[in-house]
Chains A and B, each alone.
Chain A
């Protein structure tokens, strides 16, 4: 839920407080203030490309998508994700044949992954690009499970992995994420799958599933105006007006 405008004054200090704490005469306590988030995710549809680089015999290039329902700024549920893998041989088979006259047995390959994940976004903030542009970003971690379809059948899977999201607006954002997947292959053991994904997401809606319309409060306070009011020196009076006021 977005905070009320009353908090705007508090928010103004957010960016500056840590930097000022060491040399500011007002440093008489710990001030923690966090600016309200500019972007608000609700219903997220994602298109992904990726790579599955870990298998020795092939590299998988994935194409897929997902739908994510955001319950709050912190918690979201990636209800369903599907990624198809197009596999390209790594050249290991020919290496084995050339160097040692060995032909490997048939190695099952990944065909697609189907999953569902809980996503936590504990970190949200801003990045500057060469000190010119400002980008909003969030860092998240996904935990979940599902199934992996191999050429010889289905296997269950659990996954965990971090990601980072760059916002280009309230609708479009880009995600880069890693998924570390464990797929048990009974009784032979566990198969580790690394899935690296680059995605573009489209966000729709304003009211989250656990909110009502009244909960969504638009904060239109201009922090510059509040700053000018709090610290008049940051908004100098015009020169002529200053001269007139001087004795």
Chain B
């Protein structure tokens, strides 16, 4: 095994530079050191696009990795702490707009498919080697707009779908950190008389710590 892995490792570095020079076009890719299996993830993030309320989020998710490339994010649950913008404060204070009128997303529950076509490693200051992956995903689910009471919030259900990209850095076979950027379109219904149906853009950024559990070869 030593020889096989060493050949693969060596050619990963050299084949690109020499491909144009040598007719003997040897291509070899090193086996991935880190393979994901069952991923349990805790995230902190934000939903910064809303003009009236910025969301600061905490999320919990479970992802099943089907192979090196494809994963199914079975469930991703998010709760947001909403902070008011100056515009919202002005509307409430000066124009007596009810606070429940704004209704930024308060809860979110989604599922999705992820594809990780890129995997590699980088040297940090020409010393430490870090392994990482780049991935993208398609997600769908529901969001709940903040309406003050919990019951009213659950009643403001908005179907949502979106796309995302992400970057993962492996710290060990068990632990990795990842950054996700997801853009959703949420169908916002007319709950109040002065509202109308509209497609609301929701940008969701998060930084996560992931636990990789039940790996066969761990």
Is B101 at the interface (CB under 8 A from chain A)?
A: yes
A74 touches B194 (CB 8 A): no
Q: How large is the interface on B (under 10, 10 to 19, 20 to 34, 35 or more residues)?
A: 35 or more
B83 to chain A, nearest CB (A): 13
Binds B, one of A131-139, A201-209, A239-247: A131-139
User: A26, A38, A56, A99: which contacts B101 (Cβ < 8 A)?
Assistant: A99
B13 touches A126 (CB 8 A): yes
Per the bound structure, the CA–CA distance linking A57 and B85 in Å amounts to 13
A16 touches B5 (CB 8 A): yes
B49 touches A53 (CB 8 A): yes
Query: In terms of DSSP, what is the predominant structure of the interface of chain B?
Result: mixed
A130 touches B122 (CB 8 A): no
Q: Chain B residues near A194 (CB, 8 Å)?
A: 48
Is B149 at the interface (CB under 8 A from chain A)?
A: no
Per the bound structure, the CA–CA distance linking A74 and B12 in Å amounts to 23
A127 touches B134 (CB 8 A): yes
Given contacts A19-B31, A56-B85, A129-B118, contact A234 B3 (CB under 8 A): yes
Given contacts A16-B10, A123-B130, A128-B118, contact A231 B3 (CB under 8 A): yes
A56 touches B117 (CB 8 A): no
- Chain A interface residues toward B at CB < 8 A: 11-20, 23-26, 32, 34-35, 38, 53-54, 56-57, 73-74, 90, 92, 96, 98-100, 102, 122-132, 134-139, 164, 194, 222-224, 227, 231, 233-234
Interfacial residues of chain B within 38-95, with CB under 8 A of chain A in the complex: 48-49, 51, 68-69, 85, 87, 91, 95
**Which residue, A19, A138, A233, has most C-beta atoms of chain B within 10 A?**
A19
User: B9, B16, B122: which contacts A123 (Cβ < 8 A)?
Assistant: B122
* Contact bitstring B98-139, A, C-beta under 8 A = 1, else 0: 000100000000000000011111111111111010100000
B121 touches A126 (CB 8 A): yes
Q: Chain B residues near A224 (CB, 8 Å)?
A: 10-11, 14, 18, 26
Is B174 at the interface (CB under 8 A from chain A)?
A: no
Please give me the residue from chain B that is nearest to A24 by CB atom: B2
Given contacts A16-B5, A16-B6, A227-B10, contact A100 B97 (CB under 8 A): yes
B154 to chain A, nearest CB (A): 23
User: A34, A99, A164: which contacts B195 (Cβ < 8 A)?
Assistant: A99
Q: Chain B residues near A123 (CB, 8 Å)?
A: 122-124, 130
